[in-house]
Homo-oligomer: A and B are copies of this chain.
Amino acid sequence: MSLDGQLPPKLRLLRAAAELLAKSAGAPVSTRQITQLAGVSAPTLYHHFGDKEGLFDAVVAAGFEEYVAGERDFAPSGQPLEDIRRMWDNHVQFGLNQPELYLVMFGNIRPESRPAIVADAEALMEEMLNKAAAAGQLNVQPREAARSILAANVGVTLMLIAEPAAERNLELSTMTRDAMIFAVSAEPASGPAPGGAGKSSVVVAAIALNAALQASHSDQLSSSELKLFLEWLHRISTTPAG
Task: Identify the A interface with B (CB < 8 A).
Answer: 25-26, 79-82, 85, 99, 103, 106-115, 118, 134-137, 140, 144, 147-148, 150-156, 158-159, 161-165, 171-172, 174-185, 187-202, 204-206, 208-209, 211-213, 215-221, 225, 229, 232, 235-236, 239, 241-242
A137-B198, A147-B172 given; A111·B192 CB < 8 A = no
What are 8 A-to-B residue pairs whose CB atoms are below 8 Å?
A26-B108, A103-B107, A108-B108, A179-B197, A201-B216, A205-B208, A213-B236, A225-B232
Q: Is the CB of A180 within 8 A of B182?
A: no
The CA of A101 and the CA of B171, in the complex, are separated in Å by 29
CB-CB under 8 A from A156, the residues of chain B are 148, 151-152, 155
CB-CB under 8 A from A118, the residues of chain B are 159, 162
Interface of A is mostly: helix
The CA of A159 and the CA of B235, in the complex, are separated in Å by 26
The CA of A135 and the CA of B205, in the complex, are separated in Å by 8
Q: Is the CB of A241 within 8 A of B229?
A: no
CB-CB under 8 A from A148, the residues of chain B are 156, 172, 175-176, 179
Selected from B82, B108, B137, B208, the residue in CB contact (under 8 A) with A208 is B208
CB-CB under 8 A from A115, the residues of chain B are 162-164
A110-B103, A161-B109 given; A136·B205 CB < 8 A = yes
CB-CB under 8 A from A208, the residues of chain B are 136, 200-201, 205, 208-209
